[in-house]
């Protein structure tokens, strides 16, 4: 594959740019998108870089179209991606549903903004429910919640491979702050880290003559009989279950012996990390647990952390009104640990927000 970066190098970048460069390095062929703050720079950078590397781009008439054009592109065998936020994410659930149903390896970058409705253009973690279980399906999707620019880069490269290997739509869940923050990043071509990019393959527009060597491909996402649908859904679910343990990612610290475990994801986990360090230094036994994949959720690992730590409480901290809380509770159903909440919908959470809350509930 043509090298984009050359020698791995360190750059000072914003999150949106990182996403554009990562898609380029991962070999993405096409981007379809529509303007919505705070992800516009992904498009701005892609449109500047794409012609130099012979990649394609179209600004569509809206997000419905952007999602469906990505579906079409993926069906034809190209690595396509899109990016959106807020109300755009809501609209894209229709095409994302088609991707789930028809097993289309699309990749979408979601830069969460305040919700519901037009909310704010700034930041939140209020698209967790939407991104993990949006649409009228069963959540057969993979969601990586990033916290740093390095992760945006690494998980986009990994995400394209996850999508094309397992054929589930993959989401990189960021937010407006990550989109705009400036940080150092090490960019690299995948081969420099021993990563082989999976080649895309078409589901339609296959090679060969129809009737003389190959059959025509008939794809659908609707069924006549309830039993047919049952078979399809159960089969897809079984496949999803079988890969969960391979895909799941998480991070934990100080959970060998803790009175309370702080559970957070995305950019809030950076504040949680600092908070736990400070609490420990003050003699308070706090632990840190961060799901990196929200789908599939690392519930086995969280249950294990609760068990070995002896923690009596969890503190779920999020910039939303209970979306991570709800997701976590459903995944660790049966655990008797008491769950406390720090809900700050649409607002950034700093270490002292978490520290003060921990102290108030212990």
Please tell me whether residue 3 binds another protein under the rule CB under 8 A: no
Write the binding mask 47 to 66 for another protein: x where contact by CB under 8 A, - elsewhere: xx--x-----xxx-xxx---
Terminal Cα-to-Cα distance of the chain (whole angstroms) = 54
Q: How buried is residue 137: exposed, middle or buried, by Cβ count under 10 Å (0-12/13-18/19+)?
A: middle
Please tell me whether residue 181 binds another protein under the rule CB under 8 A: yes
For residue 136, give both structure tokens.
């009228």
CB of 279 to another protein, least distance (A): 21
CA distance 115 to 129: 12
Tell me which of 1, 3, 8, 35 binds another protein, using CB under 8 A. Answer: 35
Please tell me whether residue 150 binds another protein under the rule CB under 8 A: no
- Which residue's CB is nearer to another protein, number 109 or number 255? 109
Please tell me whether residue 161 binds another protein under the rule CB under 8 A: no
CB of 257 to another protein, least distance (A): 31
Binding span for another protein by CB under 8 A among 40-48, 136-144, 227-235, 241-249 = 40-48
Q: For the residues of 222-251, what is the DSSP string, one character each?
A: --SSHHHHHHHHHHHHHHHHHHHHHH--EE
CB of 283 to another protein, least distance (A): 28
Binding span for another protein by CB under 8 A among 12-20, 162-170, 279-287, 328-336 = 12-20
Binding span for another protein by CB under 8 A among 14-22, 135-143, 220-228, 282-290 = 14-22
Please tell me whether residue 242 binds another protein under the rule CB under 8 A: no
Please tell me whether residue 176 binds another protein under the rule CB under 8 A: yes
Write the binding mask 184 to 203 for another protein: x where contact by CB under 8 A, - elsewhere: x--x----------------
| Backbone φ and ψ of 29, nearest 5° | -90, -40
Tell me which of 182, 214, 308, 338 binds another protein, using CB under 8 A. Answer: 182
Q: Fill in the DSSP letter of residue 312.
A: S
> Which residues, 6+ apart, have CB-to-CB distance to 240 below 8 Å?
140, 168, 296
- Which residue's CB is nearer to another protein, number 187 or number 316? 187
Edge-first strand order for the sheet with 250-253 is 250-253, 286-291, 260-263, 313-318, 338-343
CA distance 151 to 128: 18
- Which residue's CB is nearer to another protein, number 37 or number 341? 37
Per DSSP, the three-state class of 219 is coil
Please tell me whether residue 118 binds another protein under the rule CB under 8 A: yes
Tell me which of 104, 108, 122, 332 binds another protein, using CB under 8 A. Answer: 122
Please tell me whether residue 10 binds another protein under the rule CB under 8 A: yes
Write the binding mask 317 to 336 for another protein: x where contact by CB under 8 A, - elsewhere: --------------------
Please tell me whether residue 34 binds another protein under the rule CB under 8 A: yes
Binding span for another protein by CB under 8 A among 42-50, 237-245, 275-283, 290-298 = 42-50
Angle between helices 323-331 and 299-309 (to 10 degrees): 80
Residue spans of alpha helices (H) in the chain: 15-25, 40-49, 63-75, 86-102, 128-133, 149-166, 176-180, 226-247, 268-281, 299-309, 323-331, 351-361
Please tell me whether residue 36 binds another protein under the rule CB under 8 A: yes
Total number of residues that touch another protein (CB under 8 A): 42
> What sign does the CA torsion over 137, 297, 357, 308 have?
positive
**Partner residues linked to 183 by β-bridges:** 13
222-261 core/surface letters (b: 16 or more CB in 10 A; e: else): eeeeeeeeeeeeeebeeebeeebeebbebebbbbeebbbb
CB of 50 to another protein, least distance (A): 10
Spatial contact of 171 and 108, defined as CB atoms under 8 Å apart: yes
Spatial contact of 88 and 139, defined as CB atoms under 8 Å apart: no
Contact residues for another protein, defined by CB under 8 A = 9-14, 17, 21, 34-38, 40-41, 43-44, 47-48, 51, 57-59, 61-63, 87, 117-118, 120-122, 176-177, 180-184, 187, 348, 350
């Amino acid at each position: 594959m043509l090298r984009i970066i050359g020698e791995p190098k360190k750059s000072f970048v914003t999150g949106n740019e990182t996403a554009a460069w990562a898609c380029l390095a991962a070999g993405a062929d096409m981007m379809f998108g529509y303007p919505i703050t705070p992800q516009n720079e992904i498009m701005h950078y892609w449109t500047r870089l794409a012609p130099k590397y012979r990649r394609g781009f179209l600004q569509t008439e809206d997000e419905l179209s952007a999602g469906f054009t990505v579906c079409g592109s993926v069906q034809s065998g190209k690595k396509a991606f899109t990016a959106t936020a807020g109300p755009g994410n809501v609209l894209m659930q229709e095409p994302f549903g088609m991707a789930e149903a028809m097993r289309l390896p699309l990749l979408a970058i979601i830069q969460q903004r305040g919700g519901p409705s037009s909310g704010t253009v700034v930041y939140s973690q209020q698209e967790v429910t939407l991104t993990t279980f949006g649409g009228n399906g069963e959540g057969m999707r993979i969601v990586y919640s990033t916290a740093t620019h390095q992760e945006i880069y690494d998980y986009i490269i990994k995400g394209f491979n996850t999508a094309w290997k397992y054929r589930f739509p993959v989401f990189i869940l960021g937010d407006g702050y990550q989109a705009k923050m400036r940080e150092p990043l090490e960019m690299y071509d995948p081969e420099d880290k021993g990563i082989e990019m999976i080649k895309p393959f078409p589901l339609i527009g296959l090679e060969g003559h129809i009737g003389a060597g190959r059959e025509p491909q008939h794809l659908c996402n609707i069924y006549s009989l309830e039993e047919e649908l049952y078979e399809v859904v159960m089969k897809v679910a079984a496949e999803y279950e079988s890969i969960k343990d391979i895909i799941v990612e998480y991070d934990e610290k100080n959970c060998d012996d803790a009175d309370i475990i702080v559970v957070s994801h995305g950019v809030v986990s950076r504040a949680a990390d600092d908070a736990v360090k400070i609490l420990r230094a003050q003699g308070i036994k706090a632990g840190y647990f961060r799901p990196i994949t929200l789908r599939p959720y690392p519930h086995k690992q969280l249950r294990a952390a609760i068990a070995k730590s002896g923690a009596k409480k969890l503190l779920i901290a999020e910039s939303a009104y209970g979306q991570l809380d709800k997701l976590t509770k459903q995944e660790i159903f049966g655990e008797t640990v008491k769950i406390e909440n720090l809900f700050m919908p649409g607002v950034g959470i700093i270490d002292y927000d978490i520290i003060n809350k921990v102290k108030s509930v212990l």
